[in-house]
Amino acid sequence: MTTREEELGTFEMLWDCGACGTGKLLGVTHRHCPNCGSAQEASRRYFPSDEEKVAVADHPYTGVDQQCAACGAPSASAAVHCPNCGAPLGEGKAVAMKAHERVAEGQPFSASHGAASPQSAPSEMHAERKRPPFHIFAILAVIALALFFACRKKPATLEVVAHHWSLERTIETFALTTMSAWSDEVPPAAQAVSCHRETRSTRQVPDGETCERVRKDLGNGAFKELRECTPKFRDDPVEGDRCTYQVPAWTMARRDRSDGEGIASPRRFTSPGPTRLGTCLGCEREGTTTTVFEVDVRIVDTGKSERCAMPEAQWLALRDGQEIQGKMRALTGGVDCSSVH
Ligand SMILES: [Zn+2]
Ligand SMILES: [Zn+2]
C-alpha cells in the first residue's frame, strides 16, 4: 500500500497576543504584536480554519524556530542574537510544535490549538477490566458438579450373558453417475455435458483512492498542507463454466447385513453378494465390510443388563456365564462398558 503525497501549499500559523489579547496574528508576518509590540510566543501558535488560511509566498524555510532563553521569544534558527531582547542565542532550544492534524478529503479544518507534538499524550487507557458476573461462575460450578456425578462409577460384579456379532457390507454398482466440475476439470470420457456461467473466484481490482488533508507545523510560524492518498481495491467476480456431466463410476447400491449369537457360530453373510462381477455398466462389486463384536453384560446385584461393543480379541477371551469385577455408572445404574475385559 503506497501513499501518494501532494503539497497543497505553505500557510501562516496564527497566534494570539498574551499581553493585549489581540487575536489571529500571523505567525510569519507578525513576529511582534502590531498593537502592543510584545514579542510572539511560539506556544500561542495555532492552526487557522480553512477560511482564515493565509498563504506564505516564497518565505525561505531555514528550520524550526529557536526559543530565546532570556525572554522566550521565537527567532529564526539562523539568528545569532535574539531580535527581541538582544541576548546571544547560542545553542537555542527548538520551539514546541503542534501535532500533525488530518481530515478526510472534503471535510473542513477548523481553527485548532492542538497539542504540542513533543509531549506525547500518555494514552491512559481506562481499562476497567470487566469481570464476568457472579452467576456465570455459579452456572459453571453447577455444570461441573453435574458432570462429576454423571460420570461417577462404582465397582460391581458383572456376568457375561451372551456373545453377539454383526456383519455389514456395501455393494457397489458401476453406473452412469451425474457429477459436476469446472469445464477444464471435466474428464474426457464425460457424457451429456452441459455448462452454465458461474462465479468461480474473485480478483482484486483498483478502485480509486482514499485521500486526506494533512497539516504539519513547520515550527517557524508557518505550516505545510498536504494531500495524502492511498489506493483502494474491490473484489470483482471472475466467471467460469460450471458443467454437469455423466461418467461411469462405482457408486453405493445397497447395504447387506447379517448377525448371529455365540463365539462358535460362523460369521458370514447369508444374503447373496454382488450379482454380476466385472467392469460393465450394471456390474457389481463388494465395497467395505465391517464387523461389530458385542457382549451382553448383566450387573449381578441389580439384574440390569447392557450390550457392550469391544475389539475381537477381547470378545473372544470372554466366556458366557463368566463373572468379572467391573464397574457401573452411579447415576444411571448402567454397565460401564470400558470396565468389561
Ligand atoms: Zn499585543
Ligand atoms: Zn530574547
Q: What is the mean pLDDT of residues 174-197?
A: 94
Q: Are strands 74-75 and 14-15 parallel, antiparallel or unpaired?
A: unpaired
- Kindly state the cell numbers that stand for 282: 450394471
What's the CA-to-centroid distance between 96 and ligand 1, angstroms? 21
pLDDT value at residue 122: 40
Q: Which residues surround ligand 2, an ion (CB under 5 A)?
A: 68, 70-71, 73, 82, 84-85, 87
What's the CA-to-centroid distance between 204 and ligand 2, angstroms? 59
Q: What's the first-to-final CA gap in the chain, in angstroms?
A: 66
What's the CA-to-centroid distance between 24 and ligand 2, angstroms? 22
What's the CA-to-centroid distance between 21 and ligand 1, angstroms? 6
Q: With 50 as the cut, is the pLDDT of residue 315 above it? A: yes
Cross-strand pairs, 12: 222
With cut-offs at 50, 70 and 90, classify the pLDDT of residue 130.
low
Q: How far apart are CA 317 and CA 321, in angstroms?
A: 13
Q: What is the mean pLDDT of residues 192-214?
A: 94
Q: What is the pLDDT of residues 43-84, one digit of tens each?
A: 999 999 999 999 998 777 888 999 988 888 898 888 888 888
Positive or negative, the CA dihedral 103, 105, 107, 112 is positive
pTM above 0.75, yes or no: no
What's the CA-to-centroid distance between 15 and ligand 1, angstroms? 10
Q: What is the pLDDT of residues 222-276, one digit of tens each?
A: 999 999 999 999 999 999 999 999 999 999 999 999 999 999 888 888 888 888 8
Counting ligands in written order, which one lies closest to the CA of residue 40? Answer: 1
Q: With 80 as the cut, is the pLDDT of residue 297 above it? A: yes
Q: With 70 as the cut, is the pLDDT of residue 127 above it? A: no
Share of the chain above pLDDT 70, in %: 95
Torsion of CA 262, 267, 271, 274, to 10 degrees: 160
Q: With 90 as the cut, is the pLDDT of residue 9 above it? A: yes
Q: What is the mean pLDDT of residues 105-115?
A: 86
Q: Classify burial at 214, counting beta carbons within 10 Å of its beta carbon; exposed 0-12, middle 13-18, buried 19 or more.
A: middle
Q: What is the pLDDT of residues 151-183, one digit of tens each?
A: 788 899 999 999 999 999 999 999 999 999 999
